[in-house]
Amino acid sequence: MVLLLACVCQFMVILDAAIVNVALPSIQHDLGFTATGLAWVVNGYSLTFAGFMLLGGRAADLFGHRRMLVAGLGVFTAASLAAGLATSAGLLVAGRAAQGVGAAMLAPATLAVLNTHFVTPATRTRAFAAWSAAGGVGGMAGALAGGALTTLLSWRWVFLINVPIGAVLIAAALLALPARRVRERPSLDLLGALTGTAGLAMLIYGVMHGAGLPMLAGAALLGLFLLVEARFAARPMVPLGLFRIRGVAVGNVMLLLFGGIAVAMWYFTSLLLQNELGFTALRAGLGQTPAAVTFVLVARWAGALPPRIAVPAGCGCLVAGFGWLAAADGGYLTAVLGPTLIVAAGIALTFPAMMAAATSGVPEGDAGTAGGLATTSNQVGSAVALAVMATAATYDHVFTLAALIGLAIAVTGLLLPRSAHTPAMTSGTAR
């Protein structure tokens, strides 16, 4: 029941992202977005998601995984309703930003639930494989549902569909997860929360806009955040000792790089299908479905492979698939379908392994923080990659860059420990 809950939460988050990708051209036409402004339908979500992730992860450890998971679902559901009813570009971006806050509360709590309920290497590996496969199902359903809803009803329903799903998940979480009684009054590292959240948000904002001052301010705040965590915080928001665990450190670097892979695969192939090949939103959704099915099928058994095998094999697929996309010239079957199937297999091999490495071997009391770190790395990478790739002259340049990122992930993966799947510690703290 716990695994099912975690998987459906992941399904909803990925469903929302996939649905939005397919609906972007319709949203742009209806609400009058500019070409650069349209990216904020994605970036508005990514900015708050990444900025508040560390805070959400630490809050889950302090106040309880169940409580934060339910609260995150509530915020995400309400924000989805607001986005679906938006009447202007500004209101839609605001709704997407609020969705990001809810997701930042939800995602670390979901990962912490998995990490603390499945403690042996074999069960944790299978749990992360199922969780990743659920994301693939969400991507597949999102591509189909987004195209169908946008074509037959309205783009608004790509957000409104989250409302009934969220309500059911809230009820399921209250029933499936045990309530945790807090024996002592939680103490949140307020200075760390302020500097870390503001630093991440300003850094990502600066990258998105190519603005030097916000980037410098963000970097300075993050430097201050590290100083606070290392020297002054009695109970730091992010115990820096977590990075002494090699799997955590290497896994987070890989997830940072992987953000560019996800953006190139789902965001830019959707635009390629509609803007270059003339697909409707529904046809674009159908066109991305075979890749989503491949992801689900491969991820289902990829969890049995140790990261030191899964990562190089997956990265080989990423380099080959994106290289094909960059060089291909033709219709859907030869220029899109073949290479995206290979890329999807590469994602299915690498992503569960990276998440397992980045969240394994941590104290139980830091499970939410580790999940927050892992998801923050991935979201920061996605935001930076989208900002960089959006300036590319052609889709060929985007996919060439993605192939190079796949190669960089393979090189980084060589640093993974031989056994990254270690049981979570049940006592102590990674200070």
Residue 431 or 277, more confident: 277
Specify whether the CB–CB gap between 202 and 214 falls below 8 A. Answer: yes
Specify whether the CB–CB gap between 219 and 345 falls below 8 A. Answer: no
Residues facing residue 425 across a β-bridge: 363
| pLDDT given for residue 430 in this prediction | 38
Across 132-146, 155-169, 321-335, least confident range: 132-146
Residue 144 C-alpha from the chain's centroid:
20
Q: Is the pLDDT score of 331 beyond 90?
A: no
Q: Give the CA-trace dihedral at 258, 204, 199, 73, to 10 degrees.
A: -70
| pLDDT given for residue 276 in this prediction | 85
Burial class from Cβ neighbours inside 10 Å (0-12, 13-18, 19+) for residue 280 reads middle
Residue 219 C-alpha from the chain's centroid:
22
Name the band, by pLDDT with cuts 50, 70 and 90, for residue 95. Answer: very high
Residue closest to 430 by CA, chosen among 374, 372, 364, 377 = 364
Name the band, by pLDDT with cuts 50, 70 and 90, for residue 423. Answer: very low
Global confidence as pTM: 0.76
Q: Cα(184)–Cα(267) distance, rounded to whole angstroms? A: 45
Name the band, by pLDDT with cuts 50, 70 and 90, for residue 28. Answer: confident
| pLDDT given for residue 309 in this prediction | 82
Could you give all domains of the chain from N- to C-terminal order, each with its CATH number?
Answer: 2-179+237-413 (1.20.1250.20)
Residue percentage of the chain with pLDDT more than 70: 90
Residues 40-94 have pLDDT tens digits of 787 788 778 777 887 888 888 788 888 889 999 999 999 999 999 988 888 998 9
